[in-house]
C-alpha cells in the first residue's frame, strides 16, 4: 500500500496566527503518525508558478491515514487557525511504488 502525502502551500498573512495553528495541528499530526518531510520558506521554482511563501510536505502510512487525519475532529480544531492566518492550498497524493523489475 503506497504512503499518503499531504502537501500544503501557504501565503502567510499572520505569522503569529500560523504559529498558533502549528501548535494546534502538532498533536493531531502526532496522533495520526504523520512525519514532516519538508517545511520550506523559499521553495526554488523550477518551472511555472508556485503559490505561497511556505510549502509543507507531510507523510502518512497510507492515503487513507492522511485522509483520516485531514478529516479528523482533532485537526478540525486547527484548520480554522490556518485559514485565518494564510491563503492555503492543500493536496493529498499517493506515493509511487516501483513495479518489480523483470527477472
Residue 13 to residue 101: CA distance in whole angstroms: 48
Residues 6+ apart with CB under 8 A from 85: 12, 13, 14, 15, 16, 17, 18, 20, 21
What is the chain's Cα-based Rg? 15
**Can you tell me the mean pLDDT for 85-96?**
96
Mean pLDDT across 40-65: 94
Read off the pLDDT of residues 59-68 as tens digits, 9 standing for 90 and up.
999 999 999 9
Q: What percent of the chain has pLDDT over 70?
A: 100
Amino acid at each position: 500500500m503506497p504512503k499518503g502525502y499531504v502537501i500544503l502551500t501557504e501565503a502567510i498573512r499572520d505569522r503569529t496566527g500560523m504559529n498558533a495553528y502549528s501548535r494546534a495541528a502538532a498533536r493531531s499530526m502526532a496522533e495520526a503518525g504523520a512525519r514532516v518531510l519538508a517545511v520550506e520558506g523559499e521553495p526554488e521554482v523550477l518551472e511555472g508558478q508556485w503559490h505561497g511563501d511556505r510549502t509543507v510536505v507531510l507523510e502518512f502510512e497510507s492515503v487513507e491515514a492522511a485522509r483520516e487525519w485531514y478529516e479528523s475532529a482533532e485537526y478540525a480544531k486547527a484548520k480554522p487557525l490556518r485559514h485565518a492566518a494564510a491563503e492555503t492550498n492543500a493536496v493529498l497524493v499517493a506515493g509511487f511504488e516501483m513495479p518489480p523489475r523483470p527477472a
